[in-house]
Structure 1
């Protein structure tokens, strides 16, 4: 089974522990970070979406036109665009990047954040809208003839695009979520299903839920699984844990600022699950550490893997053994941690996967 590594296509040097030193979109830093990911063995970077953040599609186009080979995961919220317009944006970006695009559709797990851009739908209605949106995008990517659509959220007549993706039949679709509504929508439509880092047992349960949803939708295949972590590595276990507690202190200090603290308990199931895991204990399995999630209110990708590169690599392989093909990782010193992880962890994981593949091939040939 192949393994891929996903990093972050950040637009500035800020993180949960460090205020940014320049503008929200620092072009030089953005390019340095992307090139570092490419140089140190990452496969792809995510260009994330936030209501007040730089437009990730334009940032992705900027990077794709200047960095060869590095693949792109573009986050997109259906509430900000009509699907016929969005599918042309995606197809154009796939042309600019010579076929390196995957689109990650975000339904939205926080009513306040969604409302910042005028989205007033309920959570279940948002999932229904996302599913309809993805279907329109897929059809528009592949249809050479005009088509009509009449749905609960979108209606149009006689649409056909004049720009098509390089990838055939289409770019891949990525999706995430930890609620039954998310499993149903993503299980039906996604090529890649994204989860946040939970203990191995809970991750296995979520993977099975996604597979069941795919089967219920009549699929003969299942989405590939991606899991995200915040690695904290150092040359020794002692140094790694010292580093982890320094980061935790910074997170707690940042969380004391009301402007940076989540407003109330999380509404989305993924964050709720992370906080439930954190409430059960700080350490799980080989290297999973939850206080970083507790300190941020379970905000997004927030559970850590702590240890030496060897320990963290083995922990990632534990998830690989569950069927996780895409390992997403992002540190707190974004650029430096991307370099360190790429230099010290990625080669260990790839070498072990290659060893297993070779052993399997030898066994099959015997």
Structure 2
């Protein structure tokens, strides 16, 4: 099956290596950033969520008005608006965008960040609330008759939404997290379960956990799997690593830098031996503690330098090397690749020229071979061709 590529945009020029430029909401930059992803051939763009960031649905509406086919993945934290209102908001956006919306559910792993928006529930209860929230969201999109609920976190009666999504039966749900609670809730609800970029063995363990949770929830088809990386490309291996170490030096010199969704303050670990609250960051730091370089091209030094505040592991090398590294993850069941750079807009265009065509050409070759009966597929539809095979390397090199 074709691999899905997701980028990420913000409303101004900023990254871990670049200080903010321009106003917090720069409509022209936002438009150009989104159009760069459409030009580069991305399937979707993620619009992040932060307690101090612009509203994602408004950003998505602006992007939808200035693009033609680009999918919109809007990050959303349950608990701050009623699920009945959220259902109508996203359904309306889906109608106006022509069925291009997906929702990325982030329950929230940092107590201080949650409190800024008035949420004081502990983490495990937040996941329980998310479970109830997503039940309501799904029913709002799919049921024609009024319904009510006397739940643990939400109570309402005789609710009916006249606006339904353009997509049927409902808007796709993506879900992020790396804790047991995240596996349980995401395994039940998610169409795509999103992970940060860990080494292959650890990623395979997480995929197994997600699939086990889906099976326990009574699902016959597990969620598809997304993994996030920060590719750093160069014309040669030496050039790529020279750029990578320059990026790392900048990160270290700047300290707790900002991101697309606001400052990293209060979500970074502080003090000797301090650990971030969220399981995803803990896992990235654990991988970094084992070594800087893993598998074919996974580089964990940026995660260590930033306290793993976000998707912060890199894939370093030539386009051919990084493409094959991404295909290694496809080989273990990954269907969606979320990639973003440290020079955000420029890197998106480079990925479109140098990286996406290589991965897509090899995945298409494998699909053709599978159709001819020469390979099998696993339960996700991903090719079961062995990672790192000589044939795959030749195909990737030839696709450039």
TM score, norm. by length of structure 1:
0.98
- Aligned twin of 1:232: 232
For 1:362, which of 372, 377, 383 is the aligned residue? 372
| Aligned equivalents of 1:183, 1:118: Cα separation in 2 | 25
**Unmatched runs of 5 consecutive residues or more in structure 2:** 376-400
Cα distance per residue 1:85-133 (max 9 Å; x no partner): 1100000010011111110111000000001011000000000011110
Q: CA deviation at 1:263?
A: 4.8
Give the match for residue 342 of structure 2.
Answer: 332
Partner of 2:391: none
Matched-pair contact (CA < 8 Å) for 2:17–2:257: no
Maintained 8 Å contact 1:175/1:190: yes
For 1:102, the equivalent position in structure 2 comes to 102
Match of 1:126 in 2: 126
Helix, strand or coil for the counterpart of 1:355? helix
Counterpart residue number, 1:190: 190
Q: How many residues align?
A: 365
> RMSD over aligned Cα, in angstroms?
1.4
> How many Å separate the matches in 1 of 2:216 and 2:319?
40
Taking the TM superposition and a 5 Å limit, the aligned residue runs for 1:47-196 are: 47-196=47-196
The alignment status of 1:254 with 2:254, answered yes or no, reads yes
Paired with 1:9 and 1:87, the residues of 2 have a C-alpha distance of 23
1:280 match: 290
CA positional deviation for 1:182: 0.5
Q: CA deviation at 1:10?
A: 1.6
Q: What is the CA distance between 1:144 and its match in structure 2?
A: 1.4
How far residue 362 of structure 1 moved from its aligned partner, in angstroms, is: 2.0
Asked whether the 8 Å contact 1:225–1:325 carries over to 2, the reply is yes
Mapped contact 1:293–1:302 kept (Cα < 8 A): yes
Distance 1:49 1:257 in 2: 17
- Corresponding residue of 1:31: 31
- Provide the secondary structure at the position in 1 that maps to 2:6: strand
Show the counterpart of 2:15: 15
Cα deviation 1:248-282 (Å, max 9, x = unaligned): 01111121679755253310000000000000000
- After superposition, the C-alpha distances for 1:163-206 in whole angstroms (9 at most, x for unaligned) are 11000110111101111000000001111100000000000000
Question: 2:53 is paired with a residue of what secondary structure?
Answer: coil
**Whole-angstrom CA distance in 2 between matches of 1:113 and 1:256:** 15
The residue number in structure 1 matching 2:306 is: 296
C-alpha distance in 2, partners of 1:104/1:126? 16
Task: Supply the distance in 2 between the matched residues of 1:269 and 1:21 (Cα, whole angstroms).
Answer: 32
Once residues 310 and 9 of structure 2 are traced to their aligned partners in structure 1, the CA distance between those partners, rounded to angstroms, is: 16
Q: Distance in 2 between matches of 1:325 and 1:16?
A: 27
Q: d(CA) in 1 for partners of 2:129 and 2:23?
A: 34
CA drift of 1:18 comes to 0.5
**Stretches of structure 1 lacking an aligned partner (at least 5 in a row):** none
